[in-house]
Amino acid sequence: MKRILLYFVLVMQISCNSQERRSNFLKVEEPVAMNVEKGMELATFAGGCFWCTEAVFLEIKGVQKVVPGYIGGVSPNPTYRDICTGMTGHAEAIQITFDPNIVSYGELLEIFFATHDPTTLNRQGNDEGTQYRSEVFYYNDSQKQLTEEYIALMTREKTFKNPIVTRVSPASVFYVAEDYHHNYYNLNKTQSYCSFVITPKIEKLNKNFKSKLKN
């Protein structure tokens, strides 16, 4: 662990889908435009199973909304079943609506990189496939620059033992996931994946980012 911030990486123990396929990814030269209420901003992160990432960011002060969905692929209107084949090119991701007066984009990046492993290609623990890749989708040049500088800083500081493989890409169309994926952890805490994988993540979040939590 290095001096810049508190990082932690959890080893995933149970896979919610282990299929991996080759896929082509949609290339977008410019990010899609933000469409949020006045004073709010968007951040979109892919860091493995979106049940995990959604549960983490729902706890953060200044976060108004977290929506799970699919981004970065080639097929329009993908379903969960579609993206689990790995053939559509989409990543499981979350779209965060946040108040930059309460929590900065940089702070969200800090939490994102601290709560998943950005050094494993197309994998988080036992969850394998391109849909589980680590990727930041930016909406403007400022987000792009901050993300690239942050990754460069962690690389210089050797925060992680292995090289960071997180992709930095312009935000393409974000497709909202099916209703049953929303707030999944809080509604299914006794489910095995939640109790063995997500609960330890939330416990470490509470320990290491206490000042940034809503409660």
Looking at the annotation, which residues are catalytic? 49
Which residues have a Cβ under 8 Å from the Cβ of 55 and sit 6 or more positions away?
184, 185, 186, 198, 201, 202
CA-to-CA distance for 208 and 190, rounded, in angstroms?
24
Token representation of residue 11: 């080893």
Strand ordering across the sheet containing 175-176: 167-170, 134-138, 41-47, 91-98, 63-71, 175-176
